[in-house]
Amino acid sequence: MQNRRLVSGVLLAALIALVGTTAGAQFGHLKIPKAPSLPSSPVKAPKHTFKCSEIDDAMVDRFLKGRNARKKAEESEAMKASQNQAGGTDAEAKEAASDAAQSAAAAANLPFGNNSRGTSKADKAERDASGLDDIRLAGFVECCIGVLHDEAQVLSQTPQSSMEAILKREGELSKECK
Q: Classify residue 168: in a domain, yes or no.
A: yes
- Are 77 and 120 in contact, with CB atoms under 8 Å apart? yes
Cα(53)–Cα(130) distance, rounded to whole angstroms?
A: 18
**Continuous segment of H or E residues that includes residue 64:** helix 57-87
Evaluate whether residue 71 is within a structural domain. Answer: yes
For the ranges 57-66, 95-104, 132-141, 159-168, the lowest mean pLDDT is seen at 95-104
State how far the alpha carbon of 88 is from the alpha carbons of 77, 81, 93, 97, in Å. Answer: 14, 9, 7, 12
Q: How far apart are CA 73 and CA 60, in angstroms?
A: 20
pLDDT at residue 25 greater than cutoff 70: no
Helix-, strand-, coil-residue percentages of the chain, each rounded to 5: 70, 0, 30
Domain-located, residue 35: no
Answer with the residue of higher pLDDT: 32 or 49.
49
Q: Is residue 88 part of a domain?
A: yes
Distances from the Cα of 51 to the Cα of 34, 151, 158, 170, angstroms = 43, 15, 8, 19
Domain enclosing residue 108, as ranges: 52-176
Asked if the structure places residue 163 within a domain, the reply is yes
pLDDT of residue 13: 76
Q: Are 71 and 86 in contact (CB under 8 A)?
A: no
More confident residue, 114 or 151: 151
Q: Is the pLDDT of residue 113 over 50?
A: no
In a domain, residue 33? The reply is: no
Q: Alpha-carbon distance 145 to 112, whole Å?
A: 13
Please indicate, yes or no, if residue 126 is contained in any of the structural domains: yes
Q: pLDDT band for 127, please (50, 70, 90 cuts).
A: confident
- At 92, is the pLDDT very low, low, confident or very high (cuts 50, 70, 90)? low
Domain count for the chain? 1
Q: What is the model's pTM?
A: 0.56
